[in-house]
Amino acid sequence: MAVLPPTASYTQFCKYVCDLRGEKTVTELDELWAWRQKLSGVRVITGAGFRATLPEDERHLSREERGQKTVQEAQANGRNIERLSDKAQF
């Protein structure tokens, strides 16, 4: 059986559930519909949009690896990199 599309109506959802799991009461169908609506609002942020803005050679690196790369490039250019104290006053 095909997966129910996210744009399915309540009637289509009820038919799908009854075909898949057998007859359900109206209360059970309402609860399942409410759960489906809640789950459809969940967004998973993978960071793909941010990674697309990075240079090609940095897209596969973690945040820590990108930081290390930046420090190495700065040191290679003759800059002296010092870690900021955790108790620094601004």
Task: Give the span between the Cα atoms of 17 and 32, in whole angstroms.
Answer: 9
Structure tokens, 40:
């459809």
pLDDT digits (tens, 9 = 90+) for 62-89: 989 998 998 999 999 999 888 777 666 6
Q: Is 88 helix (H, G, I), strand (E, B) or coil?
A: coil
First to last CA, the chain: 61
- Report field, pTM of the whole predicted structure over 0.85: no
